[in-house]
A and B are shown apart, each in its own frame.
Chain A
Amino acid sequence: MSTPSDPKRDRPWVFRTYSGHSSAQASNALYRSNLGKGQTGLSVAFDLPTQTGYDSDHPLARGEVGKVGVPIGHIDDMQTLFENIPLDRMNTSMTINATAAWLLSLYVAVGERQGVDAKQLQGTTQNDLIKEYLSRGTYVFPPAPSMRLISDMVAYSVDEIPKWNPTNVCSYHLQEAGATPQQEIAYSMATAIAVLDAVRERSDIAAEQIPRIVGRISFFLNAGIRFVEEICKVRAMAELWDEITSQRYGVEEEKLRRFRYGVQVNSLGLTEAQPENNVIRIVLESLGVTLSKKARCRALQLPAWNEALGLPRPWDQQWSLRIQQILAYETDLLEFPDIFDGSTAIESKVNELIEGSRAELEKVLSMGGAVAAVENAYMKQRLVESHTQRVLAIESGELPVVGVNLYTESEPSLLADGGAQSILKVDASAEREQIERLEAFRAKRNGAEVEAALRNLKDVVASGGNIMPPSIRAAQSGVTTGEWAETLRGLFGEYRAPTGVVAGKAEGGSETTRSVRERVHALRKDLGRPLKILVGKPGLDGHSNGAEQIAVKARDVGMEVVYEGIRLTPEEIVHSARDEGVHVIGLSILSGSHGVLVKDVLELLRSEKLDGIPVVVGGIIPEEDAEALRAAGVRRVYTPKDFDLARIMGEIVDVVSESAAAA
């Protein structure tokens, strides 16, 4: 692998591709092939059981193993993942949060096996739990112990893994949940403050260490299609960060106050309709975080053209990598100093964003900071509201999306006509094989050592010690991901974050909305009571946007809505449907596990004699799967192209009327 270098040009940012699937072995092969194509850093996607701390054979892992990322159950998996990738020369970003301390421990232990000292390891653990509660959904523990784990990792790595970014404050996921730029800025700054305040309070951290710790805090941002505003957003964040680090934390050295950030460009706006257009969107979004030298990202990862269809194949990811390479090596982008300095238009927009977000930040701080504003649901409710506004604007056409609500006529897509072939399908045997490897690993490890390591973990954590040393020992001793997490669950308990959908003003809505509402009201006579719907999210999937917007819209058309948030079992959903006496169940699944989970729900409904309750499903569901679901009894299936929520509601009314008539 050789990369062009020219001393007259700036060094490009790190090129990454967010990837991982099936097994450590398959993912390792993918990483090596990506590096061979000129990718300069790794970005590991873990599967949902690994992210939420379950072993592959746990009942909750059913259908999810190796699906949306790589399953890592123990040190041998981690070793396989980085086989022939020297960790002293790699910059690895791991999208890992609740179990971040564990995966970092495995990384350190694998480094050791490779003969690499922890002091040489470079990379990032995402490790921002605030945004997990607000958007991403792979939290496990309550906020207080979560903040403690983050601060433990920060305190540990500052001396022991000094080149590591122990936490990456994320505004990326807030935009993906519908945040406005002001909310993105304010809530991520509030998160950074929560982390640094927690670290500052530690007795094992001396005041002189704070500037260096501040210097290790990096951010992970989004870049949307309004790319000029995005340039301004980044500049605004850099200014605010400078202010916060110098005023609140007294950091004097300029270098340590620098706003360092990586980016994944926006995916929420990538469409299922005319998917080839997404490539253009991705290019434009990349400009927002590369054009301005002052506000240029350190690392960039791009989604692929088929984002809204399903997982990308190697070729799709290669195409996105090429975008970065063309931008960095062919264009003259890297030959200029900052091309926006002195622009009054940019400056005034930056100031406007700073003012707006400062006010919102003050509000959060006055509530007691980010943790308090998670617990009292303030931030989550604001995000759901913003997303509702966005969805309504697309529905009304006020927010133009080409191919969706504008210029919808199209030749058949020559890219997407491959049907199931145009996305990556994870082999159904991946789960079974991973469980077999896990069983073999358990059989060969030293049971006494594992037990001692787990006891040590429990004792150290219970007595307030740092999470890292006992976790590294556990990694070396052959503890599994599930065992590590289970030990902490026992100590910390588990948490369910507020859904954010309880509050909010009811919307009058469009013409269609009003006419659906009339039908809902009319149906009350036939049903004897108002139409009641259960919106359920089975499995480990944390994609809540769709379910939230469906719940809000259902309320706005006059339905009574039960929504309990993410990560429910099929048993819990059926139990709720019965006790709540609902007329229809709407399931939302975006993580690809619909095959197993929907079938489980249907079977349970049958065995409970509740199969009179119709079921509709929405999410990322390839057409052939949709057909299978309908054949199994699902009444309607919706995917991202069904952006008109009022129309969906109308069809749900149809479904309920049909069922009522049949009963």
Chain B
Amino acid sequence: MLARDRGAVAPALNLLDDTRPERRREALDLLEVLESDAPAPGARRIGVTGAPGAGKSTLLDAIVRNLRDQGRTVGIVAIDPSSRRTGGALLGDRVRVRAGAADPGVFFRSMASRERLGGLADATHASVTVLGVVFDYVFIETVGVGQSEADVEMVCDSLLFAAQPGAGDTLQFMKAGLMEIPDVFAVNKSDLGPPAERTRNELENALGMSERDAGWTPPVLAVSARDGTGIAELMATLDAHRQHLLDTDTLDARRRRGASAAVLDALERRYGGFGLDGIGGRAAAAERLNAAPEGAFNLLRKLSAEIEDRLRKG
């Protein structure tokens, strides 16, 4: 894996998704090694969110073309909802991202959200970590359903929100008060003309009212995944956001928060809120994870042991 061997990626993602105890241990071994030894900061991790039909997958296709032209390799994780009734899922984003259909420089993994509400799957964070070792860029596509933006933020360095012209979903989004989360906004389908420009203005105005951390005002771009308009500018904007994170020394902290959240999640899934209470509750655990010099995944075994110890004694 550390040799950036593409052939090792798919088996690693299968492993990270595997819930059998023995495979889980192996998965943790892998994550520990990657956390300690993978060169930081490694790949760019970019989340893409937005309502269904906004054009996220098509946009990714355009972005992948752009990056491949520059010789960059790309890993993608796309998450689709599972049916609550049957547990099954139709994973359809691959249909649109044709740029890498048989290209070894592109890796695409579809994931079902399964029991998890919101826009991620349990293995998303870990999968992104693995892809980040092997590829230059990692993208995470997920539908925007309110809560999920906050979730995706935890697995990426930059969050791109794709809106579409005249869409009620953008309004919805603004009402839900989620304007603070995305780092870059792109109104897609600018080829449709005036409605796209109108939506871009609306978004820009709405953003003017929302509070952001100093030094970065989320830009609102007009792009067309269909004809390629604005894609180069979008890439430049994402670069600028990356630079902002490096300049302000916040990339590492953001990654740490993400890793901690993933570890907390795993602990909670396994031991429940009750288990976490055994080590002082969620907030305390998060603090320890954030501060861990060895990294969150390398602390996971230790925390598990503590919880199990408590549970046994309790």
Residues of A in contact with B (beta carbons under 8 Å apart): 376, 496, 498-499, 501-502, 506-508, 517, 520-521, 525, 528-530, 551-552, 554-565, 568-569, 571-572, 575-576, 578-581
Contacts and interface: CB of A to CB of B under 8 A. Distances in A.
B101 interface: yes
B92 A499 contact: yes
Contact of A558 (B86, B91, B95, B109): B86
Given A376-B53, A558-B88, A581-B17, 8 more contacts: A496-B95, A501-B90, A528-B18, A528-B19, A561-B88, A561-B91, A576-B108, A580-B109
Interface in B6-62: 9-11, 13-14, 17-20, 23, 53
A506 B83 contact: yes
Nearest to B19: A528
Give the 7 A-B residue pairs with the shortest CB-CB distance, closest first: A528-B18, A555-B88, A502-B92, A506-B83, A558-B87, A528-B20, A581-B14
Given A528-B18, A560-B112, A581 B86 contact: no
Contacts of A517: 86-87
Contacts, number: 101
Contacts of A565: 95
B86 A575 contact: no
A580 B110 contact: yes
Contact of A555 (B19, B20, B89): B89
A282 B92 CA distance: 37
A564 B94 contact: yes
B57 to A, nearest CB: 11
Contacts of A576: 94, 101, 108
A554 B86 CA distance: 10
B98 interface: yes
Nearest to A571: B102
A498 B112 contact: no
B102 A575 contact: yes
Nearest to B80: A502
Contacts of A555: 83, 86, 88-90
Contacts of B185: none
B88 A496 contact: no
A575 B101 contact: yes
Pick the most buried of A502, A507, A571: most chain B CB atoms within 10 A of its CB. A502
Contacts of B20: 525, 528
B255 interface: no
A575 to B, nearest CB: 5
A562 B53 contact: no
B68 interface: no
B95 A529 contact: no
Contacts of A563: 90-92, 95
A565 B98 CA distance: 11
A506 B92 contact: no
B288 interface: no
B107 A579 contact: yes
B53 A578 contact: no
A143 to B, nearest CB: 11
A581 B88 contact: no
B85 interface: yes
B114 interface: yes
A528 B23 contact: yes
B88 A502 contact: no
A565 B96 CA distance: 10
Contacts of B17: 528-529, 581
A249 to B, nearest CB: 26
21 contacts: A496-B95, A496-B98, A501-B90, A502-B92, A506-B85, A520-B88, A525-B20, A528-B23, A530-B114, A555-B88, A557-B88, A558-B88, A560-B91, A560-B110, A561-B88, A563-B91, A563-B92, A568-B101, A575-B102, A580-B109, A581-B10
